[in-house]
Amino acid sequence: MRKIIFVTGNPHKVREAEEILSPLGINVEQNNCGYPELQEDELSPIAAFGAEWAANLLDNEVMVDDSGLFIEALGEFPGPYSAYVFDTLGNKRVLKLMEDEINRRAVFRCAIGYCRPGEKALVFPGDVEGEISKEMRGNAGFGYDPIFEVNGMTFGEMEDNEKNSLSHRYRALLKLAEWLKEGH
């Protein structure tokens, strides 16, 4: 069975990838070795660099996920700094920043970096448009899920299968799966 190592500390992401890739005969194995993250305004170069670094370190084909929440009214903040902002401020303070904003549009973006040792990385993007809710709702998911709303429900209010069927990561993983199905 083919093995792709998913370099992440997040088991939720690994389960999502397994659901999409295991029907293709691919075993997704988690490794939390980490990788140096470039300081960039876009996700793609961060994911590409991380995938190349990890593929060469682990001597195996790998995938990494760089995701971010891009809030229009805040100038696309927190963007590629989403994990740091979440760990530092949390959802309550992000909602405080949005308190007087009428424009609540936001996009969750994902860039899946895929690489084999010694090769250049490929990046598979995925986006989902939504808005920032007025308050935290729901206990499901992780990170910004309780404040990111799509079709009247936050990701935090959705069952995993519902969220996964429309998430930014799901869309990026489908693109990777389609590419792998072509025999790559």
Q: How many C-beta neighbours within 10 Å does residue 16 have?
A: 21
Give the per-residue pLDDT at 41: 87
CA–CA distance, 116 with 119 (Å, rounded to integer): 6
CA–CA distance, 172 with 127 (Å, rounded to integer): 8
Catalytic positions: 66
Give the per-residue pLDDT at 164: 83
Q: Which residues contact 178 (CB under 8 A, 6 or more apart)?
A: none
- The parts of the chain modelled with pLDDT lower than 70 are none
pTM of the entire structure? 0.91
Give the per-residue pLDDT at 89: 95
What letter does residue 98 receive in the DSSP assignment?
Answer: T
Please write the tens of the pLDDT for every residue from 56-109.
999 999 999 999 999 999 999 999 999 999 999 999 999 999 999 999 999 999
Give the per-residue pLDDT at 65: 95
- Which domains does the chain possess? 2-181 (3.90.950.10)
146 close to 163: Cβ distance less than 8 angstroms: no
